[in-house]
Amino acid sequence: MSDANIPTCQQMSILELQSGGLQNIGCTEQDIRNARRNVRKANDGHDADMLNEHFLAQKEKNPYFTYTIETDDENQISHIFWADATSREAYKVFGDVVVFDTTHSTNQWKMLNTTRSLHIGQLYKRYSVVAIDSF
């Protein structure tokens, strides 16, 4: 449930309902918080590797999937591009590209923070589109 960004207190409520009471859950709210912390620590510093592995897996499943990861002089990711078969077909039909620029929200490690992102673009070269992501 943490992967779905369900807050810990709500996770406990769901587990309580599913198990028939707090006494039947088998863990505490603090146990869940500790598990989330441990996963974050285990993944710390490996997010770029995990992204690359994900892209390689996508490429293996779909030969039309393509991606490029560019790095700067300090070997930090500076640009990422990917396109799957659906987006490539959409480009052929509409001739437009959707760009997500989240550089307005960076942290002390100069990594992208995609917790909340505002995206503005055009659809069919006529309609403005505004999207806000939160994940």
Same domain for 100 and 69?
Answer: yes
In a domain, 49, yes or no: no
Q: pTM to 2 decimals?
A: 0.50
Same domain for 77 and 119?
Answer: yes
Same domain for 67 and 129?
Answer: yes
The per-residue pLDDT for 128 is 61
Dihedral angle over CA of 115, 112, 126, 129, nearest 10: 0
Same domain for 27 and 69?
Answer: no
Same domain for 39 and 69?
Answer: no
Number of folded domains that form the chain: 2
Residue span of the structural domain in which 34 resides: 2-43
**Torsion angles phi and psi, residue 55, rounded to 5:** -65, -40
Same domain for 32 and 82?
Answer: no
Residue 27 zone, left/alpha/beta (φ > 0; ψ -120 to 50; rest): beta
Q: Any long-range contacts for 91-100 (C-beta under 8 Å, 24+ apart)? A: 94/123, 94/124, 95/125, 96/121, 96/122, 96/123, 96/124, 96/125, 100/133
Same domain for 126 and 85?
Answer: yes
Same domain for 67 and 24?
Answer: no
The pLDDT tens digits of the residues spanning 5-25 come to 788 888 888 888 998 988 888
- CA gap 91, 134 in Å, rounded: 25
The per-residue pLDDT for 5 is 72
* SS3 assignment, position 36: helix
The pLDDT tens digits of the residues spanning 55-80 come to 999 999 998 899 998 888 888 888 88
The pLDDT tens digits of the residues spanning 102-125 come to 555 555 445 544 445 555 566 556
Same domain for 35 and 69?
Answer: no
The per-residue pLDDT for 117 is 52
The per-residue pLDDT for 115 is 46
- CA gap 95, 93 in Å, rounded: 6
In a domain, 57, yes or no: no
In a domain, 98, yes or no: yes
Same domain for 18 and 75?
Answer: no
Same domain for 82 and 22?
Answer: no
Of 92 and 113, which is predicted with more confidence? 92
Q: What is the mean pLDDT of residues 90-103?
A: 69
In a domain, 23, yes or no: yes
The pLDDT tens digits of the residues spanning 21-58 come to 888 888 888 998 898 888 878 877 677 888 889 999 99
Same domain for 75 and 113?
Answer: yes
Q: What is the mean pLDDT of residues 92-111?
A: 61
- CA gap 41, 35 in Å, rounded: 10
